[in-house]
Amino acid sequence: MRRLALSDEVLMRVEKPARYIGNEINSVVKDGERVAVRFVMCFPDVYEIGMSHLGIQILYSMLNEWEDVWCERVYSPWVDLDRIMREQNIPLFALESQEPVKNMDFLGITIQYEMCYTNILQILDLAQIPLMAAERGEDVPIVIGGGPCAYNPEPIADFFDIFYIGEGETQYRALLDCYLANRAQGGTRRDFLKRAAGLPGIYVPQFYEELYHADGTVRGRKKLYEEIPDTITKELVRDVTEVHYPLKPVVPFIKVTQDRVVLEIQRGCIRGCRFCQAGQLYRPVRERDADRLKEYAAAMLENTGHEEISLSSLSSSDYTQLNELLDFLIEDCSRKHVNISLPSLRIDAFSLDVMSKVQDVKKSSLTFAPEAGSQRLRDVINKGLTEEVILKGAALAFEGGWTRVKLYFMLGLPTETEEDIRGIGDLSNKIAAAFFETVPKDKRVNGKVQIVASTSFFIPKPFTPFQWARMCTKEEFLDKAYLTKRGIMEQLNQKSIKYNWHEADASVLEGVFARGDRRVAAVILEAYRRGCLFDSWSEYFHNDIWLQCFADCGLDIGFYTTRERAEDEIFPWDFIDCGVTKEFLLREWKKAQAGTVSPNCRKQCQGCGAGRFGVGRECGGKL
């Protein structure tokens, strides 16, 4: 019988003990003595968030299909258990076997957002694995990083043995076979890393050295071994219909952030928004066949008992088989009393018609993401959304019975002016006015509409046209937020508009991590040692500690944030080939400064470079 790693006494002392006991429906338990490779997959945040991540579910299911591999899961212990584990010297454990992570062969960490970097160190520390990769011996797991943040791995390169660049379904079998061959031949840890460095998409940071100019910018990179590659090209799934998909996802015991079946309908995006990293990283667009998705939906609902299904995509409206798939789901799900969630839809007549069919009579809020308050700035960021389209969509929504609209904007975008910022309040007011103009008094629910305008602060990300842009200071961000609030308060319909904005301190730090180099690792390590953890949770974010750590490590925050990059500057991530070329991104950066719009991929190819993969309708390949 499986023995829990935590005693009843400990479980009774922590919040939500079900986070730590495993044994959920569809979790996989194997005989650890009969498998060749023990692998632990980690999401470095609390269980409820990690269990909502589709990528881990995919890799967990795929690895466990192989008879010689057992993949387990681990998440960041919440602060209450973290304290107890340190006090009682309890090593971090995998959920399925309840055995220490340090006894496994691999620890794979998905890195979805920059503000989890201290949580990565928490995972390593509690697992009793040396934090620095260079200090690890033969008896600890190989630590692998993957996910979107791995596209600039340098700020955390010192903590990882390997980074997997790209989509995880393609190279893991080859990597594990390489590991088994090395072990059979009596090879060392370093021998394996040298072998792995020759595999496509695999980056071993300790075999490279970053070189700097006197002004602190990157001068280049030096390889320790001539046979390892200069450039790491991302791994890409060519045929997303035939690739593995988890038909029996693990079902948590407690409510998690995304408590539903997730159906990934396509990868990539045709839109080309210049601030969006995902839209560049996951090119080209590849669609899953609708008939296969119908099979998946039926199987996953049966295997989980979930009462909701969500279509996952960067832009669901651009999925060419959406009508066919939705017709099936609406009929099938209504019969089974299953709700359908449709994120990432453009708000137009078709979308509203669909949502009216799948939502309850009491309609939930609709979401628009104009991103900028003026048409001029929407053209700069290549949003492809006009005020006319936004207002028409809002009017259609109000006619359909919706009375709550969420609007998402960014502050601090390149070329932004005071007029652009005031445009946020102006647009919010026009949408509120559209409600009163569209809906007769006798048909208004509670007599009013609610517009919720939210602003986040723009953070330039690698592999976007805005990777050259300067970022605002905390003070500039706050000034912009106050100006936005004042602009909303001046509107005729201000009582119908609510305004929220994000914290500026955390945004500045995220900006450092997004475009940082290897020198930033020292700051992350020092901040963790001084108690920083769960930095994406506002109640645990300690900006004063971070500022002191930057000062003590001799690094200037402004060097990474407010400095606009020269066109020919070498970036810390330039050794990675994400599929789109730097030349294309620079062309888009110049077009942004000129306010020139680029058509989406379906209308006209922009020559981004992703066509070389030979897949995707827009790139001349198959779907």
CA distance 19 to 41: 15
Label residue 620 by pLDDT band (50, 70, 90): low
CA angle 283, 114, 89 (to 5 degrees): 130
Higher pLDDT: 331 or 73? It is 73
Domain boundaries, the chain: 8-233, 260-359+579-623
- For residue 373, pLDDT beyond 90: yes
Confidence at residue 623, expressed as pLDDT on a 0 to 100 scale: 42
Average pLDDT of the chain is: 94
In sequence order, the β-bridge partners of residue 570 are: 218
pLDDT of residue 362: 47
Whose CA is closest to 149, among 473, 536, 589? 536
How far apart (Å, rounded) are the C-alpha atoms in residues 419 and 430? Answer: 16
Cα–Cα dist 591/584, whole Å: 11
Q: Please check whether residue 588 is in contact with residue 380, taking contact to mean a CB–CB distance below 8 angstroms.
A: no
Tell me: the pLDDT tens digits for 139-157?
A: 999 999 999 999 999 999 9
Digit-coded pLDDT (tens) for 545-591: 999 999 999 999 999 999 989 999 999 999 999 999 999 999 999 99
Whole-number Å distance between alpha carbons of 320 and 288: 10
User: What are the helix (H) ranges across 246-386?
Assistant: 277-281, 290-304, 322-336, 349-358, 375-380
Q: What is the mean pLDDT of residues 262-274?
A: 96
- Please give the Cα distance from 573 to 163 (Å, whole number): 13
Low-confidence winner among 84-98, 189-203, 430-444 (lowest mean pLDDT): 430-444
Please report, as a single letter, which amino acid is at residue 505.
D
Task: Extract the tokens encoding 380.
Answer: 């700069």
pLDDT of residue 364: 64
Say which amino acid occupies 204: V
Average pLDDT over residues 358-383: 84
Query: Can you tell me the distance from the alpha carbon of 260 to that of 305, in angstroms, rounded to the nearest whole number?
Result: 9
Helices 349-358 and 322-336: angle between axes, nearest 10 degrees? 20
pLDDT band at 336 (very low <50, low <70, confident <90, very high): confident
Q: How far out from the chain centre does Cα 549 lie?
A: 26
Q: What is the pLDDT of residue 532?
A: 98
Q: How confident is the model over 365-392, as a mean pLDDT?
A: 92
Instruction: Report the alpha-carbon distance of residue 202 to residue 181 in Å, rounded.
Output: 17
pLDDT above 80: residue 446:
no
Angle between helices 172-184 and 54-65 (to 10 degrees): 50
Amino acid at 444: R
Q: In whole angstroms, give the CA distance from residue 416 to residue 582.
A: 24
pLDDT score, position 621:
59
In the structure encoding, which two tokens stand for residue 418, read together? 């005071």
Range with lowest mean pLDDT among 184-193, 258-267, 323-332? 323-332
Answer whether 432's CB lies under 8 Å from 404's CB.
Answer: no
Q: Mean pLDDT across the stretch 110-115?
A: 97
Of 239, 268, 263, 236, which is closest to residue 249 (Cα–Cα)? 263
Alpha-carbon gap, residue 74 to 508, rounded angstroms: 29
- The answer to whether residues 495 and 446 touch, using CB atoms and an 8 Å cutoff, is no
Q: Would you say the CATH fold of 260-359+579-623 matches that of 8-233? A: no
Residue pLDDT, tens place only, 487-523? 999 999 999 999 999 889 999 999 999 999 999 999 9
Q: What is the DSSP string of 173-236?
A: HHHHHHHHHHHHTT--HHHHHHHHTTSTTEE-GGGEEEEE-TTSSEEEEEESSTTS-SSEEPB-
**Taking residues 402-425, what's their average pLDDT?**
96
Q: What is the pLDDT of residues 342-357, one digit of tens each?
A: 887 777 767 777 777 7
Q: At which residue do the structure tokens 């973290």 appear?
A: 82
| pLDDT band per the 50, 70, 90 thresholds, residue 605 | very high
Q: Can you give the pTM of this predicted structure?
A: 0.96
Model confidence pLDDT, tens digit, residues 290-313: 999 999 999 999 999 999 999 999
The strand pairing partners of 41, in sequence order, are 73, 108
Look at residue 288 and tell me whether its pLDDT is greater than 90: yes
Residue 473, burial from CB neighbour count under 10 angstroms (0-12, 13-18, 19+):
middle
Is the per-residue pLDDT at 11 higher than 90? yes
- State the pLDDT at residue 616: 84
Which of 169-183, 324-338, 521-535 is the least confident region? 324-338
Which one is the CATH code of 8-233: 1.10.357.10, 3.40.50.280, 3.30.70.80, 3.40.50.300? 3.40.50.280
Measured in degrees and rounded to the nearest 5, phi and psi for residue 211 equal -115, 145
What percent of the chain has a predicted confidence (pLDDT) above 70?
97
> What residues form DSSP beta bridges with 7?
none
Asked if residue 333 has pLDDT above 90, the reply is no
Q: What is the mean pLDDT of residues 407-425?
A: 97
Residue 504: name the closest of 410, 423, 417 by CA: 410
CATH 3.30.499.10 at 260-359+579-623, yes or no: no
Q: Is the pLDDT of residue 622 over 70?
A: no
